[in-house]
Chain A
Amino acid sequence: MALLQISEPGKSTIPHEHRRAVGIDLGTTNSLVATIISSQATVVENSFNEKIIPSVVSYSKSPALVGTDAIKNQIIDPENTVSSVKRLVGKNIDDINPESFSLILKNHENTIGIKTIQGIKTPIEISSEILKYLKNIAEDRLGGELMGAVITVPAYFDEAQRQATKDAAKLAGLNVLRLINEPTAAAVAYGLEQKIEGNFVIYDLGGGTFDVSILRLSEGLFEVLSTHGNAQLGGDDYDQILAEWLVNEDVINNDPKVKESLLKIARHVKESLTNIDFFHVDEKITSTIHIKKKINQSQFSELTKSLTEKTLTSVKQALRDAEINVEDIDGVVMVGGSTRMPSIQKSVQRFFNQSLLNNLNPDEVVAIGAAIQANMLAGNTNDDILLLDVIPLSLGIETIGEIIERIIPRNSTLPIAMAQEFTTYKDGQTAMIIHVVQGERDLVKDCRSLGKFTLKGIPPMVAGAAKIRVSFQVDTDGLLSVSAKELSTNIEASIEVKPSYGLSEDQIALMLESSYASAEDDKESRALAEAKTEATQLVEMTKNALNSDKSLLASSEIKLIEKDLSLLKKSIKTNDRIVIRELTEKLNSTTEVLASKRMDKSIQKALSGKTINSLEL
């Protein structure tokens, strides 16, 4: 018997059509899965009533253990227990400092491999264990298979890290509805996307990392303007300072056991000072160390001031990068358990001079935002879907020399419209073929052709005089329409294509990879094609000029030009860019005489029979 949930008025779904969708906050230290139950965004608990699942995987036994169970093995079997795998996802062995990881790292099929008793595991496989665990508790809670998930990633994640996260989800049997940025999820959790526009700051202080992001909202679309942070700054550092204050530094560093108990006490004091103003420590740690100390909130705040200041320095940097002033910030969202500290709340509030968005549980806010987004994407609400999609590959048109001119760069958020002006290449040209292509490479043959159309009826003009405006528009469904318009006559032609049609994610990834690998070649090919185009243009112009004005030149001059002309014509057939460039310049200089004589002639023609007074000078 299925158990039913209460829907919003008028928004009941048809039976069997309520799609179970979740939001997943896949964190460095902890992970959470949330979903919408009876209109409430709820973090799902596992069977031990835990909502916050440590991102730890233990391979001691098969199947692998995840979460609290895995943490237990961290002490017994550290060689086969992996934590903080998020720092390795989508990275190369060269990208990281192996000394900062206690586990053995190997180069394994171009990615990192971690040696465990169950064989070499890649970060993708380890992440997928965490995702599988979250998927299972969500399916138990919702009573059936999930149709999809929204997974959050840091705003600074690059394409490879995002792809790796998707791969991990696929391996876990999850259908990824979308990856969204963690700060965006936090903003969605507070319903900020329902505003019309604004600039928002997401201040995220976790246990071990600090991130700040500046988001701009316009027309329901969040754009990350800038991010800044510190991967080595978090709540743990506050504990450390407090522990050092409780006893002297030597005591802490000499005995790891003492250090552990001290940090535990410090953490307890820190958390207690969130709710009460005053704390009395009276703890016996060893036979010789007995701590008796009193501390109040303002003392603690003073003690850890330098850490809080550091976060604000990052905030200032992020604002500078985003070119936004403090006064232009419309909301500040607090994320991460460490933001519960009153001293941080006060400092951030003072910095922005406004009250903070902090009434949601800061540990849950990212997962909740992801769940809200997942529910919308699954089609469980009648609300408009947030428009956060991006273009996977750049879009552009072919120009002379089979080179690509990019109009819309990849990763642009949808919907988007962009236009650029082009001109004719030959005198009297009356038509232009617009060849729409997709890809990151510089030459047409290395990209994907999406379609072609011809703009006819351009009035005959000299080369370069016509103005043809080519506009690209991609709507929210990814449908691309391209139009070309000749600006003096308003003649127009257009085409519509679906750029993603028939392209699998593998193919997109492959196209991206090849563009990175062949960046050098592409640069050279583009330069060669440009040199050839310029040379061909010069050959045409010189021929035309010789035809009409041969009489202006002495026969020796004509011979010289004809010699250079034929040399250049021959060189165009080769692929030697440097020779082509040299010969182009040579012909340019030998034709200078011809050019100046032609100029004199046309001026004379214009001036003949006119008085000085009749000239418009």
Chain B
Amino acid sequence: MAITLTEKAAQRVEKYLESRGKGIGLKLAVKTTGCSGMAYVLEFVDKASSEDQVFESHGVKILVDPKSLIYIDGTELDFKREGLNEGFEFHNPNVKDSCGCGESFTI
């Protein structure tokens, strides 16, 4: 299994990294909080930790810590536009149930 980005998501991340002027990639993680158990974390990475698993998709480095990987392995990150709003969406095969807003989920 692996973590992947759609092409659109990869382009967007590259653009953000470029205008930010620093950063080696994208960090995906989960933390235990939110209204339905787990919540996603999406951050820029300036320095990788030694335990991080590194994936690469469409030229973008994705870093995931091993504990989070259990919850999000197989995830595809997409970039979507809904009306004027745009942002990233997790397509996570491990999710059984998510709260209405989609910011947190349970397995």
Contact = CB atoms under 8 A, between A and B. Distances in A.
Interface of A: 1-12, 14-16, 37-40, 44-47, 137, 140-143
Given A3-B82, A140-B84, A12 B20 contact: no
A9 B45 CA distance: 6
B54 interface: no
5 smallest A-B Cβ distances: which pairs?
A3-B87, A15-B103, A143-B85, A1-B102, A140-B84
Contacts of B7: none
Given A14-B33, A16-B101, A40-B16, A3 B41 contact: no
Contact of B41 (A1, A12, A39, A140): A12
Given A3-B86, A6-B13, A39 B102 contact: no
A11 B43 contact: yes
Interface of B: 13, 16, 19-20, 26-27, 31, 33-35, 39-47, 80, 82-90, 98, 101-104
A5 B20 CA distance: 14
A16 B98 CA distance: 13
6 contacts: A3-B85, A7-B41, A40-B20, A46-B84, A140-B83, A140-B85
B20 A44 contact: no
A4 B84 contact: no
B85 A141 contact: yes
Contacts of A3: 80, 82, 85-89
A5 to B, nearest CB: 5
B85 to A, nearest CB: 4
Nearest to B27: A9
B45 A143 contact: no
B34 A16 contact: yes
Nearest to B40: A4
A493 B16 CA distance: 56
A45 B81 CA distance: 13
B42 A12 contact: yes
A7 B42 contact: yes
Nearest to A141: B84
Contact of A143 (B40, B41, B87): B87
Among B85, B89, B90, B102, residue most surrounded by chain A Cβ atoms (within 10 Å): B85
A141 B33 CA distance: 26
A94 B69 CA distance: 69
Contacts of B35: 15-16
A7 B39 contact: no
A137 B42 CA distance: 25
Given A141-B84, A143-B87, A7 B101 contact: no
A143 B33 CA distance: 21
Given A5-B42, A38-B87, 19 more contacts: A2-B102, A4-B87, A6-B13, A7-B41, A9-B43, A10-B43, A12-B42, A14-B33, A14-B39, A15-B34, A15-B101, A16-B34, A37-B87, A39-B16, A40-B19, A44-B84, A45-B84, A141-B85, A142-B85
Given A39-B16, A40-B16, A2 B43 contact: no
A524 B30 CA distance: 69
A39 B83 contact: no
Given A16-B101, A40-B20, A143-B85, A6 B44 contact: yes
A4 B103 contact: yes
Contacts of B40: 4, 15
Contact of B103 (A2, A7, A37, A140): A2
Nearest to B104: A15
B34 to A, nearest CB: 4
B89 A4 contact: yes
A5 B88 contact: yes
Contacts of A44: 84
A269 to B, nearest CB: 32
A15 B39 contact: yes
B75 to A, nearest CB: 12
Given A4-B89, A12-B43, A15-B34, A47 B104 contact: no
B88 A4 contact: yes
A581 to B, nearest CB: 71
A143 B47 CA distance: 31
A4 B84 CA distance: 14
A5 B82 CA distance: 14
Contacts of B82: 3, 143
Contacts of B31: 12
Contacts of B88: 3-6
Contacts of B16: 6, 38-40
Contacts of B104: 15-16
A7 B20 CA distance: 11
A605 B83 CA distance: 97
A432 to B, nearest CB: 54
A5 B46 CA distance: 17
Contacts of B86: 3, 141
B71 to A, nearest CB: 14
Nearest to B88: A4
A83 to B, nearest CB: 25
